[in-house]
């Protein structure tokens, strides 16, 4: 899910049906290998912009596709603020 306003954007990614993925036992987080080849496509104008994960505090710069395994490594949901 992506929402934009002016130059800012919010990207929300949520794990869906995680219980059916390999690497899931009694935990909320899906192991990275289960996300192999899965990516989140940010808005075209987000490349090179700074993001901040509002839930984990992680930050970085968007450089094309965002690997789901990286995005969902700490929690089964991510809320990125793109500035």
Phi, psi of 54 (to 5 degrees): -65, -20
Distance CA 49, CA 2 (A): 15
Better-scored residue on pLDDT, 83 or 26: 83
Quick one: pLDDT at residue 74? 86
pTM of the model: 0.80
Q: Render pLDDT for 14-44 as a digit per residue (tens, 0 to 9).
A: 887 665 556 555 666 777 888 889 999 998 8
Q: Chain-centre distance of CA 6, in angstroms?
A: 21
Give strand pairing partners of 74. none
How far apart are alpha carbons 51 and 83 in whole angstroms? 6
| Residue 62 pLDDT | 93
């Amino acid at each position: 899910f992506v929402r934009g306003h002016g130059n800012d954007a919010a990207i929300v990614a949520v794990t869906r049906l995680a219980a059916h993925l390999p690497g899931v036992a009694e935990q909320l987080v899906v192991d990275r290998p289960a996300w192999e080849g899965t990516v989140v496509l940010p808005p075209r104008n987000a490349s090179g912009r700074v993001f901040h994960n509002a839930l984990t505090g992680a930050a970085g710069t968007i450089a094309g596709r965002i690997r789901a395994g990286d995005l969902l490594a700490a929690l089964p949901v991510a809320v990125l603020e793109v500035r």
